[in-house]
Amino acid sequence: MIKLHASIRHPAAPDLQCPILQYADDTLILVRAERQDVENLKPVLDQFSTATGLKINYDKSTMVPMHTVAATVGAFQGILGCQVGSFPQTYLGLPLSDTKLRLAAFAPLISKTDRYLGGWQATLLNPMGRAVLGNTVLDSQLIYAMSVMQLPQGTLDALDRRRRAFLWSGDEQVHGA
């Protein structure tokens, strides 16, 4: 319905359709930050809700404006009735930002690896079992993150240290030549 509505425009190229990204029950709608576009979006969302019986919870919805003055953001919030968020933030477990991310933004990725490794009883596994477990679970986590962004070298180094230690000794750290 949004894509068929020509007055809800792409934020960067007015000739293109408004991009809509969906995953499970999450939807990202990228709209040009102009009053008319936002005013046209709200009734289309309400029509979708009426047609499908799916209720859009505007109280749980978030609008994240980019390069928009505060007065305009307030007007958009009044139209949509949703919260206003800001960058950086996390979406589907990955950090999002409108500027280059700092190394600290990737700390949750490292923490997730630590949680996995902490829950595995490495001393009960032989080296091949540790290799299979590390490759299947930890590699899939990295592939997921690296499929959408380039990870900083410091993050890759921290993850590699943990993987090596788990593989070779089953401990949190490994020392050797």
φ/ψ (deg, to 5) at 94 = -120, 145
Question: What is the average pLDDT across 103-120?
Answer: 88
Q: Which domain holds residue 77?
A: 20-86
CA-based Rg of the chain, rounded to a whole angstrom? 22
Do residues 82 and 99 both lie within one domain? no
Specify the pLDDT at position 168: 84
Helix axes 35-52, 70-80, angle to 10 degrees: 20
The pLDDT tens digits for 87-101 are 888 888 888 888 888
In a domain, 1, yes or no: no
Chosen domain end from 42, 61, 86: 86
Do residues 53 and 82 both lie within one domain? yes
pLDDT band at 175 (very low <50, low <70, confident <90, very high): low
Chosen domain end from 57, 86, 115: 86
The pLDDT tens digits for 140-168 are 988 999 998 889 999 999 999 988 888 88
